[in-house]
Every structure is written in C-alpha cells, then in structure tokens.
A and B are shown apart, each in its own frame.
Chain A
C-alpha cells in the first residue's frame, strides 16, 4: 500500500496525474468522486482524441475528393472525355501514379509510421552488416594510424530523431551556460540591469532564421581551416542563442526579486557576498530559473526544426524538408508522422523539465 502511495506521488509530481485515475479503475477502488474524476480525466480526453481523428479523416476525405475532381476536370478540359475517364478509373484503382496529392488521412499516416519503422530496421541491419564487414579492415586501418571507414548510407528516421535530440541538448546546454551566470550578474546589479536592458529587449524577439544567418556568418569564418561538422555547430549555437532569452530574463528577475526578508537575514547574519549569492540568492531564485529553463527547452525544440530545415544539418527538420521536396506519394503522411513525433518529444521534454523543476523548488516539495 505504501509503495503505491509513493508511486502515486511520483506520477503526480511529474504532472501525469491522470495515470492515477486510470490505475484506480483497474484496482477497483473507485468511489463516486473517483468515477467523476475518471470521466473527466480519462474518458473525455480519449473521446476527444477519437473526435479529432474522426474530423481529420473526414477533412482529409473531402480534400481528397476536391483534388480528385479537379484532376478529372483538368484532364477533361485539356485532353478530352477519354482522358478524363481514364483518369477517373486510374484514381479509383488506387494507382500510385495518379493519386491526388493532399492532406493524408489518419490511416495513411499510420501506414507511413509503420513503413518508417521498417525502414529503420532495414537500415540498422545494413549498418550492422557494414560494421561486421569492415571490422577487420578498420582495426587494421586504426593500427596503421588511418581514419576508419564509416557508414555513409542514408540515416533512418530514428537516427534523425537522435541527431535532433543531440542538437537540442547541445543548444540547451549552451543556453544554460550563457544565460544563467549572466542572468545572475545582471540580477545582482541594478546599474548593469538598466545598461543591458536595451540589448536584451532588442535581441529577444529576433527570429530564429536571423540568428541562424548571424551564426552562419561567424562560424563559417571561424571553422574555415578545421574539418569539423559545421552544420551541427551552426545549428546548435543558433538554437542556444534563440532559446536562452527566457532563462536570462527569468534568472535576472528571480535574482532581483529575492524576498526582502531573506536579504535581511543575510545582512543580520553578516554573510559575505559570495556566501550571500550561493546560500541565499541562488536557492531562492531557483524556481524562477527553472521556469526559465523549461521555457528555454521548449523554445529550443521548437526553433530546432526550423533551424535544421534551413541549415541543412541532419535531423527532424531536414527530414521534413527533404520529404516535402521529395514529393513521393507517402511524403505528406511522413511529414505528419514527423509532426506527431516532434510534438510528442516536446511534451516529454517538458515533463522531464517539470519534474526537475518540482524537485529543486523548495515551495513545492511534497516530501519525496
């Protein structure tokens, strides 16, 4: 019993409270209040998901019909009745070559999802085979001091996700390393705050695209001689620069607005400046700093896609762009799969940050 209470606490702590209600359905301890909760937190959301898929399906179907009619109409006006009939038959037969290109239906997206997974399995197998084949040669090459032969095949969808996560974490760390110390320093000094305020206010709303170009200008020159992965460097620095403002502003605000009582305590205890910052000011502004970091991570994930798309660096962004350029029959549905994956990962990242935030902020600790 005690164990399950702790489990409940942990799930609530992570902002996944609805799981508890779901669990109580199976354990059977549902009273009237619990049943109402169950309706509100589980049944209604699931119903809304079905409603969403239904609407999507219907919308996609009508868009498909409009597109198909247009195609037939076009064939009729340009090539005559015979071509129109042929087109109609072709569309009805489900032939790939003449399918209308429009919003894919949920079923098509599901199919694409499965095909992307299959694709991943094939590529993984291929990679493993490659590694096996080159193992001996590579060992020899390394022994001779040469670079090993690496797999240069197409990355799978899962590889793209991992690359994107790597980029976003690098960008997030960069934002953390830049924004938190600067935010603390700005927050401590009123003079500094008013002197850099204009800079923050001007740079904060700058679009990710412009940041990317700015970083590109600088990094291009700086990495001229080295053969490092400049696309990755450009994209993670841009992500960091775009997303750090929330943390910077929140940290500065948190540090500047420490409760006067705590400052009085620090004065009465005669804490030195360093002690005052680390023992009083930083702990009391941690909740706000983490709110900032949470916003930063979600902004980072959001701009990452756009930046990858533009910087041609591998990842989900370039996957979406390549699929769009590709124009294959299942390209559109693959883009939608990517959209859901991006959204789901964004949600997960946010929950992780929320959990960390709850762990460190003192006024919310529920004693775990």
Chain B
C-alpha cells in the first residue's frame, strides 16, 4: 500500500450546466520518503490538486488516501507551503512560526516551543530577522519563513505548491538547495508542484506531468535516475539529465500544441484573387 494514494479522483466546480470539471481521473501513488514533482502549465489545476491532497478541498468523485485512510480535512501530518507564502502580516517571523508550532505540539512547554522556533529559523538562515514582520522581508526571505513554518510542525509529508514560483532565478536556486538539504536530513515524503521542468528534475525522484485543464489528468511518469546530491552546474552536462529534460519538455510541448490545434478555429475565407493592375498605368 502506497503512502499517499489518489484513486480515480475527479474535481468539479459549480453545478449543473455551469459545472467545470477541473481534474479528471487522477491516479497517483507516492511511497514513503519519496520526492515527487508534478509539472504543469499555469492554470492546469495544480493548486486544486494540492488542496485535495492537503485536505482543504474534497474530491467530487474518487478517493484520496493518506496512509490508507481517506483524507477528510487538514492534518498536522501534512505540512503545506503555499504559493503566496501566506504569512500573517501582523505577526513577526518568530510569532508566525510559534503559532504553528504551538498548534502542532500543544503539550510542550513554552520554552520547548521557543527552542523549536529558533531551531527552524536558524535552519532557513533567518535568525537575524526573527523579530521582523513579513512586510520588511524580501520575497525569498518570506518564502523561507513559510518553509520553516511548514517544517517546524514536523509533518510526515510536505506538500509544496509552486513554492518558488515568484522568486528570481538566483534566490530560487538557493532555496531549492535549502529545501533539498532539509529533506535529505529528515527524509520526509515530499510532493512538489511546479511549472519549472528543470526544478523538478533537480529536486525530485519522479516527475509526473499534469495535462492542462479543464479535465486535467496526470500524464506518464518520468523517473529521474541521477545520483544525489545533485550538482546544478554538472547537471547541465549530464546526458541522463538532458534526455529526461528533453523528453518531458517534448511531452509538454506536444500537449500544448494539441491543445492549440483543438482550440484553433478555421475561418472560411472568400475565394478571391487580387485584381491585376498591370497595364492600367
């Protein structure tokens, strides 16, 4: 039995004639300790998929199983890193994390909770900014707070919804390494949703493309057989990397073109030939 399982999951928004099927026939299974990436175009229903897994949404049909039990709501066992950080702006970095830790470990003493907070703040290298408010931080720092908040609750599985989407390339690279570092240390199961194929290959064990919605469904999976720890600069020359990357991009491009050709309307043009003015002047 897989650690996380999605069986024939459908998700429809609206009702009757206005219903739009966002996700259709999603089947996914993730083993314990695995790092899986789902790659897809923007607007293909990635966030809906994440919300089904973390329990914020319920599937219209089908079932989402976590450790064999259906997911009926959110749980501290599944930590979530949101796309837009979702830090509470009126709390400082420390307070944001403290609030999460306090909920996750209600029995621990205040001192222990503060220790956990400072441990995870140090882990994402934000100790100097612990008393700052999110507004005073850069995008990358905010996302690191969100990472620390999710990890400090010590979830068994960590779900990341395009966590680095809004960051510049350099910050993105650093954070990828930080997340991988932490994942490598604590060996939790991880699910990464991204629109960046390179990021997926660099970080994950398996990549599964999400065919664009409406009626989005998962495509065939691609295994990444590259030794960890992976080196970004060396990766570019790795034949295996190039091959996988090309295969995935080709697959996604094909879907893109397919979608375009489906959408393409054929205009009937009148059968005319331009009049020749030769000899008139």
Contacts and interface: CB of A to CB of B under 8 A. Distances in A.
Q: Does B associate with A?
A: yes
Contacts of A365: 133, 135
A268 B54 contact: yes
A362 interface: yes
Nearest to B155: A268
Contact of A261 (B73, B76, B84): B84
Interface stretch (B21-29, B34-42, B85-93, B113-121): B85-93
Contacts of B76: 270
B99 A268 contact: no
B82 interface: yes
B74 to A, nearest CB: 5
Contacts of B174: none
A352 interface: no
B96 to A, nearest CB: 9
Interface string B135-171: 1100000000000000001000000000000000000
B75 interface: yes
Contacts of B52: none
Given A261-B82, A261-B84, A363-B135, A267 B74 contact: yes
* Size category, A interface: 10 to 19
A279 interface: yes
B56 A284 contact: no
Interface in A241-276: 261-262, 264-265, 267-271, 275
B4 interface: no
B80 interface: yes
A271 B88 contact: no
B86 A270 contact: no
Interface string A309-340: 00000000000000000000000000000000
B100 interface: yes
A264 B99 contact: no
A268 B88 contact: no
B103 interface: yes
A283 B54 contact: no
A365 B136 CA distance: 10
Interface string B25-68: 00000000000000000000000000000101000000000000
Interface string B183-222: 0000000000000000000000000000000000000000
A231 interface: no
Contacts of B88: 262, 265, 279-280, 283-284
Interface string A55-67: 0000000000000
B82 A264 contact: yes
Given A268-B80, A279-B99, A284-B90, A362 B54 contact: no
* Size category, B interface: 20 to 34
A284 B75 CA distance: 24
Contacts of B56: 264, 267-268
Contacts of A271: 99, 103
Contacts, number: 49
A264 B103 contact: no
Contacts of B103: 269-271, 275
Contacts of A279: 88, 99
A275 B135 CA distance: 23
A262 B88 CA distance: 7
Contacts of A284: 88, 90
A362 B82 contact: no
A269 B89 contact: no
A265 B86 contact: yes
A271 B73 CA distance: 13
Contacts of B86: 261-262, 264-265
A269 B102 CA distance: 9
B80 A362 contact: no
A284 B136 CA distance: 18
A294 B79 CA distance: 40
A261 B85 CA distance: 9
A265 B134 CA distance: 15
B66 to A, nearest CB: 14
Contacts of B82: 261, 264-265
B74 A362 contact: no
Contacts of B153: 269
Contacts of B54: 268
B104 to A, nearest CB: 8
A285 to B, nearest CB: 11
Contacts of A270: 74-76, 103
Given A269-B103, A271-B103, A363 B89 contact: yes
B229 to A, nearest CB: 30
B133 to A, nearest CB: 7
Contacts of A275: 103
B100 A269 contact: yes
Q: Which of A264, A269, A284, A363 has the most CB of B within 10 A?
A: A269
B73 to A, nearest CB: 8
Nearest to A262: B88
Nearest to A364: B135
Contact of A269 (B99, B135, B136): B99
A106 B33 CA distance: 84
Interface string A5-21: 00000000000000000
Given A270-B74, A270-B76, A362-B90, 5 more contacts: A261-B86, A264-B86, A265-B86, A268-B74, A279-B99
12 contacts: A261-B84, A262-B88, A264-B56, A268-B56, A268-B80, A269-B99, A269-B104, A270-B75, A279-B99, A284-B90, A362-B89, A362-B133
